[in-house]
Amino acid sequence: MPASNDRSGPKIVTVSVPLNTAVVGGLVARRELRISSDVTFADFYSRMCTNMDLDPTEASIGYKFHTDRARDPPCELSNESDYLPMMQEMVRKILAARSRNPVLFLHNLRPATRTPVLSKRKRDDEPMDSKDGRPRPSTTLDYTQEYRELLSKLRCKLHEGRLCRVDPVTTEHNELNIYQVTLWARMIATGQATYGQPPNSSAFDHVRKRQRFSVQHAPVPASAPSIHVH
């Protein structure tokens, strides 16, 4: 059932997310998203990091309500204990609102460290390889596209708000966290995994163990008793 802003049921929360905050000298803009108040913390955090173009394993996000003062520092949003009171307060503000629509403002709490994307033309300040004079290859890995596509494939239709990998043999649902999804997307970008097969990493051991233990072996028939003729 879709979220609504009547007195009962989940509410539609308007979230303002900043863009380009991780890029040094980037032009910061904002985008408004609408999300149901009953989504899980994992789903909310992954969606916000995707829109803010942040790595979920390294991101540090804060929030402020539209009623907070400009000089008030953002509150930290790092786990479910931070998330639930925040969402409850947003629901309270939505129910109490008369005209102005309450907005939740997110903030990137980490300083910008990412260099702007350069054009393909050589720049005078572009680092050069000392051997052949060619530009050095980039040492950064952009797996945003893989991360977004993987999220769309893992959003579970059976368990709302969860990220699940469905075993193709047993059809068992294995819930994944943000760290696992991020690692998986990074490994896809480097060719060490595919969308259908997670990487060979200890972070996914519980998935493989469940698959292994779920296999039912046929019982070995007991050997017939020996008959001795005297």
| pLDDT tens-digit readout, 174-188 | 888 766 787 888 788
Q: How far apart are CA 3 and CA 10, in angstroms?
A: 5
Q: How far apart are CA 117 and CA 50, in angstroms?
A: 18
| pLDDT tens-digit readout, 197-206 | 888 877 676 5
125 pLDDT tier (thresholds 50, 70, 90): very low
Indicate whether 224 pLDDT > 60: no
In order of their start, the domains of the chain are 12-108 (3.10.20.90), 144-213 (no CATH)
The candidate with the shortest Cα–Cα distance to 178, out of 45, 76, 40, is: 45
Please tell me which residue, 13 or 217, carries the higher pLDDT value. 13
142 pLDDT tier (thresholds 50, 70, 90): low
Least confident of 26-35, 91-100, 126-135, 182-191: 126-135
Q: How far apart are CA 108 and CA 105, in angstroms?
A: 10
| pLDDT tens-digit readout, 59-88 | 999 999 988 888 889 999 999 999 999 999
Spatial CB neighbours of 180, under 8 Å, sequence gap ≥ 6: 198, 203, 204
Longest CA span, the chain: 102
Looking at the whole model, is its pTM more than 0.85?
no
144 pLDDT tier (thresholds 50, 70, 90): confident
Would you state the pLDDT for residue 215? 41
Q: Which of 39-43, 68-72, 138-142, 204-208 has the highest mean pLDDT?
A: 39-43
